[in-house]
Chain A
Amino acid sequence: MRLIPALAVLLALAGPALAVDPSERLADPALEARARLISDELRCLVCQNQSIDASDAQLARDLRAIVRERIAAGDTDEGVRDFLVARYGEFVLLRPRAHGVGLLLWALPPALLLMAGTGLFLAFRRRSAVTGPQGLSPEEEEALKVLSREEDERPNY
């Protein structure tokens, strides 16, 4: 039985990879543009990592039709997505929502940068605390004075 999804995937991949049938389009270009943007971020559930905008699978067609129906019915972009999530689960969203595991995904990049930044800051501070510039001892000051006096007296080549 594992063969059937595998076959579906193969067919979806191998089928002429052309989507967005002109016959599906909405008459209003503004609404159609919204439909394209939304479908670009919705997963074709039977394909591998393809959006419904790019896939020619039957399911992708159906989903594109639903998206356009909902838009024509006056749904907001978020409303369209909610409608599809209610039917197919969050798996349908290629851009995960920021809750649960999705929150982890969105929080990770800033968290990593923050960790790296803090780590670097601490490393540099610790290092400059260990080896930071210490004042010269009186003897060293004296030696320096002598040296710079010699330097002044000699002609500079």
Chain B
Amino acid sequence: MIVEFGHFALMLALAVAVAQSVLPLVGFSRRDPALMAVAPRAAMLLLLLVAIAFAALTYAYLVSDFSLLNVVENSHSEKPLIFKISGVWGNHEGSMLLWALILALFGAAVAVFGGNLPQTLRANVLAVQGWISTAFLAFILTTSNPFLRLAEPPMEGRDLNPVLQDVGLAIHPPLLYLGYVGFSIAFAFAIAALIEGRIDAAWARWVRPWVLAAWIFLTAGIAMGSYWAYYELGWGGFWFWDPVENASLMPWLVGTALLHSAVVMEKREALKVWTVLLAILAFSLSLLGTFLVRSGVLTSVHAFATDPTRGVFILAILCLFVGGGLTLFAVRAGTLRQGGLFAPVSREGALVLNNVFLTVAAGVVLFGTLVPLVVSAFGGAISVGAPYFNTVFGPLFGATLLVVPLGPLLAWKRGDLLGALERLWAVFVAAALVALGAAWLNGATHLLAVVGLGIATWVLVGAFAELWTRARFRDVGLSVGIRRLAGLPRSAFGTALAHAGLGVTLLGIVSTSAFQTETILEMKPGDTTVVGAYSITFDGVRNAAGANYSELVATMTVREGGVVRFVVEPARRFYTARQMPTTEAGIHTHGLSQFYVTLGGEGRETDSVVVRMWDKPLVTLIWLGALVMMAGGALSLADRRLRVGAPNPARRAVPAVTAD
């Protein structure tokens, strides 16, 4: 009954989405405020209805209602509670419903927080959101309905793919979708601006918080996914240039570019057309990401959907929104007037350079990801793998990072490059010292790593150069400097932190890639081996059982200088319902580094097992850097400037006091 209620709510949601798509536009063309006012109410109602549908499906999972096909295929009565919940979106149908839910959430957020928007803009933005909702709800109801019942329900479900039974999966897709779908707001704003043929600095100010929020979530989602792949797949790598990973990286690159070009537009009214284009592209790439993963054109770790009818439907959605958006852009972009002029060497110039590098990088990843698909469609076969992407993406992103500390030190309109470089001399010295130190410690064998460490230091330390300069410590002394520092807007700290996070991540990537030690060998209980500074003793194996799996756990004691440091327990699991084995890496974090052990098959001698061990120096920095970037984004989001026009809390507090 509850399930039917959810199913019905989903159908109603489609009807509401259609109304939200059409009525505000009619209202806009007739200048009818009543019709335009439908938009926010429809958006709220849509959220309510989709949330009911989602809650109903979650309920079905919680009570293991095996009369639902979707629950049978992806759940099991003995599955731990958290994976019963995360299993809701651990499959195609459920994840699409989550997509629709987040879309509705963002739409409602615009309705609630968009009170300061001009009425026509708000109506048009919500109408565009309505189109997207309509498309996705229709997609779910016609091709991917999670509410289908079975006439003869089985006694037990088939369980969720064991690789996905992990806390990482519980969080990764929602974060990623919050990022993807967040860009739909930027897209809706862009289309609304093109429809109205009017765009100004205020537009950028309205759009930026949404882009920033989406960017924070996307950063979190990508980092989370990377860490999940790192510990769950047991390959020891953190990024595989898998098409599914690329699908999330592309919107991130373009979204980062959008974030920066929106700053230029907000401050200087320049780059309007370009910013609108980026807003369309960022969401197009998000849709493309959904298409790549969901249509089954790729069959890879993440892609667990294979059904051509769905593929064609998603392709149609993709063509409609990307093609339609770009066509509208081509027709209407000319009506947007260009604003502020600037010299090539200026803050704007640096941001344009950043945009060029980021979009070229995104273009390269896009091409490299799609080429194998296109070639195979014509009967050929070509591989574009990690070696290609590393070779091409590395220098491109390295060049981008070189410019990062410079940009914030340049003035708007016309900057002083020499002056900026002069202010960075200390940063340069620090970077050179780190690079030389690394070269001295490791010999000249790792030239690339030495350069990488230098760039990482340059970005990490250089990120704070703007704060240092603006506090004017050298001119005004420490105490006044600190006061000046405290008076700087939060967005300045946000910029510094986000840029520093890039440096931190790069530091982790370089030191892990270049300086990790790897050992692969056969071990028998009682054997001892040496990895880096550690000696590892294989104590033995034992059998254990989880809620829905059995496992073989190996115990390894790690000693340093004869003293026991820690114990790692890698394991091999066997999930009974799906008859699938998985490896669970044994990971121990020491400081910022990690010791990583996986178990392989049986060795040639009796009782022996193949063991692969890594000591990965500073590997955690890869993901800690992402956290720092997110913190930077959050600080920027908290900046007052972005809330100008929002109700002032101080003023609201006054009546409360007088009421006493």
Contact = CB atoms under 8 A, between A and B. Distances in A.
A14 B582 contact: yes
A94 B382 contact: no
A6 B383 contact: no
Contacts of A117: 356
Interface stretch (A63-71, A72-80, A108-116, A138-146): A108-116
A109 B392 CA distance: 7
Interface string B391-412: 1100010000000000000000
A18 B391 contact: no
B168 to A, nearest CB: 16
Contacts of B163: 13-14
B610 A21 contact: yes
Interface stretch (B233-241, B465-473, B537-545): B233-241
Contacts of A93: 383
Given A20-B520, A89-B381, A109 B360 contact: yes
Given A17-B598, A96-B383, A113-B360, A6 B520 contact: no
Given A13-B163, A95-B391, A96-B382, A112 B352 contact: no
Contact of A22 (B162, B233, B610): B610
Interface string B369-390: 0010001000011111111100
Given A49-B240, A56-B601, A90-B382, A18 B583 contact: yes
A105 B384 contact: yes
A22 B601 CA distance: 11
Contacts of A43: 383, 385
B604 A94 contact: no
B525 interface: no
A18 B385 contact: no
Interface string B555-586: 00000000000000000100000001111000
A98 B363 CA distance: 19
B604 A18 contact: no
Interface stretch (B35-43, B182-190, B298-306, B637-645): B298-306
Given A14-B580, A95-B391, A96-B388, A101 B396 contact: no
Nearest to A113: B360
B114 interface: no
A21 B521 CA distance: 8
Nearest to B396: A109
What class of interface size applies to chain A in its complex with B?
A: 35 or more
B612 interface: yes
Among B352, B388, B599: residue with most chain A CB under 10 A: B388
B481 interface: no
Contacts of B384: 94, 96, 105
Interface in A94-153: 94-96, 101-102, 104-106, 108-109, 112-113, 116-117, 120, 124, 127, 131
A101 B360 contact: no
Nearest to B390: A95
Interface in B235-262: 235, 237, 240-243
Interface string B348-370: 00001000100110011001100
A22 B581 contact: no
B341 interface: yes
A41 interface: yes
B116 to A, nearest CB: 34
Interface string B53-84: 00000000000000000000000000000000
Interface in A1-52: 6, 9-10, 13-23, 40-41, 43, 48-51
B352 A94 contact: no
A48 B300 contact: yes
Contacts of B344: 120, 124
Contact of B301 (A13, A15, A16, A23): A13
A37 B359 CA distance: 31
Given A101-B382, A120-B356, A9 B581 contact: no
Given A20-B612, A21-B600, A48-B242, 10 more contacts: A10-B580, A14-B163, A18-B583, A18-B601, A40-B387, A49-B242, A56-B600, A90-B383, A95-B385, A96-B383
Interface of B: 162-163, 233-235, 237, 240-243, 298-301, 306, 341, 344, 352, 356, 359-360, 363-364, 367-368, 371, 375, 380-388, 391-392, 396, 520-522, 572, 580-583, 598-601, 603-604, 610, 612
